[in-house]
Structure 1
Amino acid sequence: MPKRYFTVENDIIEQKNLKVELDGMTYFMVLSKKEALNFQVEPTVGFSLKSVSLEDAQVINDHWEWSEHGGLSYIQRQICYNTSVGLYKDEDNELVAWCIRAQDGLLAALQVKPSYKRRGFGVMIVKEYSRREAEQGRDIITEVVSENKASLNLFKKLGFSIKDQCYWLFTEAPNEDLL
């Protein structure tokens, strides 16, 4: 929910005696399609950029911090129906970095395998994804968890600007009899 609802939401949680299971804040960030169209991307020698293969859904799910029951099916649907970019090693077609457009339009599931970090692959993936989205006439939007300084810095470096703060809350009813 947007930050402007935070006070009301806290009042409801307190009044209803709800248990908060997850309470986190993200930055809602945007890059204009005009800016994204300026990105030029050349993959590192020995690597290729292409749409993520459905066969790689399990790899993505295995590395995804937010994966839970039903996560694989979610990832598979996003790959089938949305923009995605994967960086593949030419010699064995190993997927080493990726991002996928989520059903709500956000750049999501951005990941670089740990053994491939600090090589500029995250920047490469975001630029290529952003260019592809811009070619379809869309601004690029994402949310970044406030504690994830590396991702926040990456998006700022590429020209994304913070437009809002969003709060994510999951609650559990205090009594199972409640509907």
Structure 2
Amino acid sequence: MEEVLPEGKNFRLVDESELPEIIEFLANFLPDSIKFHQTLKTFVNDRVWDFHFYVTKNWPEQAVILHFPGMTRTPNNKLYESFSVFCPCDQLDNLELLETEDVLIDWSKPIYLNFTHAKIMGKIEDFYVNIGSMEKLYGDVYGQIEPQADEAQAQAVIAEQGEISQLKQEHAQMIHDLYPANQMECIEVFEKLIDKLPCFGVFSAQGELAAWMVQSYYGAMFSMQTRPEYRRKGYGMLLAKHLTNLVTERGYLPFVVIRPENDASKSLYAKLGFKKYFETVRAILRPYEESGDYQGGGGGGGGTENGALDGAGELNGDVELKGDQ
């Protein structure tokens, strides 16, 4: 097992006893901090995955927080190959601590950043342009401002066209296989999500899983997918509303990440009272000395030229599924 470093040049490992106070601190910067805030909350409450959180050595005067790994699967399955970062948008100059962090972060190797606030990513790109290039995928973070009630219609859909229920372990393999960015997340995380968090599917009268949506380890509602033969039945709206209610009841802040061009998902969530918070970016950072044919974001080999960016990831909407697999 890879050694967990107690500190880097500019950051120190957080003791778990500190996490509740850090969650309170990050709440002061909502909605910009929502992804990191909800990751911490999910970690404390549900322990879906083992993350290691680091703050600056003079936190909170310089309020930069990291967690490793940033996703559950990277090409070499190394703890420090991927990270997530948050810094208040009015304190972005503190991100210079990332540029000089040469213990926790090896800038001479490819690095995988999951969805990160676009202003933070822009500041990272300012200094990374001297190190290498970035491959980027954009998504917009939407959160629920005003809950919308439509229980009667939802119940009618359930009674007429299918039954909604919590997913089971036996569904994890199929959901992972059909997850557009499964090269970024291992199947074990889907198994743990199903075991610990709201993960629901709509089942046909024949008992076949027709559509599904889950709450992620970082709090977002993601992986909404509907099989082609079951589309236009309202299952997406049904799942989104059901999961939104459950997430809220459990004390989480419901949010989703949507591709800018995905008008269908924007319309769906607008009906549920969601509004755009900010733009976010997923990126692969590649040093210039890396060979051009390096394949990122997969489980070692394979993949496409875009690596981990080739897929919708947690971006929402009915994804075209290629067969029942």
Query: Structure 2 residue aligned with 1:10, among 102, 110, 125?
Result: 125
What is the DSSP-based 3-state SS (H/G/I as helix, E as strand, rest coil) of the residue aligned with 1:86? strand
TM-score (norm 2): 0.49
Query: Structure 2 residue aligned with 1:100, among 214, 222, 227?
Result: 214
Letter in structure 2 aligned against 1:35: P
Distance (Å, rounded) in 2 between the aligned partners of 1:14 and 1:88: 48
Distance (Å, rounded) in 1 between the aligned partners of 2:269 and 2:144: 9
Q: Following TM superposition, by how much is the alpha carbon of 1:171 offset from its aligned partner in structure 2, in angstroms?
A: 1.3
Letter in structure 2 aligned against 1:160: F
User: What is the alpha-carbon root mean square deviation over aligned residues?
Assistant: 2.0
Is contact 1:46–1:90 with CA below 8 Å preserved after alignment? yes
Give the structure 1 partner of residue 228 of structure 2: 114
Q: Is 2:136 aligned against 1:23?
A: yes
Distance (Å, rounded) in 1 between the aligned partners of 2:159 and 2:137: 35
Aligned length: 171
Letter in structure 2 aligned against 1:150: A
Is contact 2:143–2:256 with CA below 8 Å preserved after alignment? yes
Give the structure 2 partner of residue 74 of structure 1: 189
Q: Following TM superposition, by how much is the alpha carbon of 1:69 offset from its aligned partner in structure 2, in angstroms?
A: 6.7
Query: Structure 2 residue aligned with 1:50, among 157, 161, 165?
Result: 165
TM-score (norm 1): 0.85
What is the DSSP-based 3-state SS (H/G/I as helix, E as strand, rest coil) of the residue aligned with 2:218? coil
Q: Which moved more, 1:62-71 or 1:75-84?
A: 62-71
Query: Structure 1 residue aligned with 2:259, among 142, 145, 148?
Result: 145
- The CA deviation string for residues 88-147 of structure 1, in whole angstroms up to 9 with x for no partner, is 1132x2111111000000001111112211221101110111111222233311111223
% identity of equivalent residues: 19
Gaps of 5+ in 1: none
Q: Following TM superposition, by how much is the alpha carbon of 1:82 offset from its aligned partner in structure 2, in angstroms?
A: 1.1
Gaps of 5+ in 2: 1-115, 291-325
Letter in structure 2 aligned against 1:26: G
Query: Structure 2 residue aligned with 1:35, among 147, 153, 162?
Result: 147
Q: Following TM superposition, by how much is the alpha carbon of 1:74 offset from its aligned partner in structure 2, in angstroms?
A: 2.1
Give the structure 2 partner of residue 129 of structure 1: 243
What is the DSSP-based 3-state SS (H/G/I as helix, E as strand, rest coil) of the residue aligned with 1:15? coil
What is the DSSP-based 3-state SS (H/G/I as helix, E as strand, rest coil) of the residue aligned with 2:160? coil
CA 10–133 in structure 1, closer or farther in 2 if over 3 Å, else same: same
- The CA deviation string for residues 3-41 of structure 1, in whole angstroms up to 9 with x for no partner, is 22243222222111x232x30111111114x716x3413
Higher Rg of the two aligned structures: 2
**Structure with the bigger percentage of strand:** 1
Relative contact order higher in (CA < 8 Å, ≥ 6 apart): 1
Query: Which ranges of 4 or more aligned residues in structure 1 deviate by more than 3 Å?
Result: none
